[in-house]
Chains A and B, each alone.
Chain A
């Protein structure tokens, strides 16, 4: 406090003691923090290799399937082909393995970009894939409110607050979306 008449109050307040949290409480909180950091970094560590493995498995299985289908078609067309008709293999029904493998790096890039995008916008709330941004979500709730769909607006607002408990809704918007 800058006001001189506060000195006596502050001096006595500080003399009340410097209570500190008990060590078990410290340990619980620090343990929770460590676990959270570890689970995140372990997810990061495995995310890329796991995605590459998944792409490879998917590509190989698609390639095998396409190969099987092609040989079935070739078998079925073998007899008429002998009758002098040129047989053109059907257009591939599914991407080839090489197509898939060509696409894999693009998919990997997306996976790598996701966290980088988040860190580039530290103020943004993290979102599940496909979920609207908080701003869009609030705008949608406002629309519901204007349309008179209050039940749905209330439900969405409650869900929003559950998902983003620390999000501070700007005042004009808050008045618009809160139950009247």
Chain B
């Protein structure tokens, strides 16, 4: 039977480097896209991606399989991204912005995504979706990406982001609505 993520992480903490290789192979793609699509700048995203895994390596002795490994991994990722925004002088408050009555306005890029495109319909839609994703408020984008790339449940996203399920549900609903709006152009 295939070892679970939690078993692999415990095996790695006990000194089994091959367990880490399996774990890394399982999660590298999703986590990479989560960071890349959350940060936009590839160089910075790659630095953060590396830092997150270094944190995992350094914290291996403290890992407690009380929650899914994925929840723990994306909690570290969330914290690193918040640190990143802080360092860049961006207030982290917008990260928690999820008031359904006061959704953040779309950035100009997303507005532009609504304009007619000359490219083929599929490419045009994908381009619009990409832009709309980047234009989402960070907390909504993060919730969407954790769900899609990490496969996290609402409760797990709430745990990883220090929020609650209702807020996460609301963020997801608004994220999907805006992405849908961008697709429908």
A residues engaging B (CB < 8 A)?
1, 3, 5-6, 8-10, 12-16, 18-22, 25-26, 28-30, 32-34, 36-38, 40-41, 44, 118-119, 122-126, 165-166, 168
Contacts and interface: CB of A to CB of B under 8 A. Distances in A.
Interface residues of B, number: 48
B20 A33 contact: yes
A44 B13 CA distance: 13
B20 A13 contact: no
Interface stretch (B54-62, B85-93, B101-109): B54-62
A20 B129 contact: no
Contacts of A122: 10, 13, 62-65
A37 B28 contact: no
The A contact surface, by secondary structure, is helix
Contact of B12 (A12, A16, A37, A44): A37
B179 A25 contact: no
Contact of A119 (B14, B16, B129): B14
Contacts of B50: 25, 28-29
B179 A13 contact: yes
A10 B180 CA distance: 9
A16 B24 contact: no
Given A1-B176, A37-B20, 13 more contacts: A10-B148, A16-B126, A18-B29, A19-B32, A19-B36, A21-B28, A21-B32, A37-B15, A118-B61, A119-B14, A166-B59, A166-B76, A168-B162
B49 interface: yes
Contact of A20 (B20, B29, B76, B130): B29
B16 A37 contact: yes
B8 to A, nearest CB: 12
A14 B14 CA distance: 36
A149 B179 CA distance: 50
B10 to A, nearest CB: 7
Nearest to A45: B15
B176 A6 contact: yes
A41 B33 CA distance: 33
Nearest to B20: A33
A55 to B, nearest CB: 25
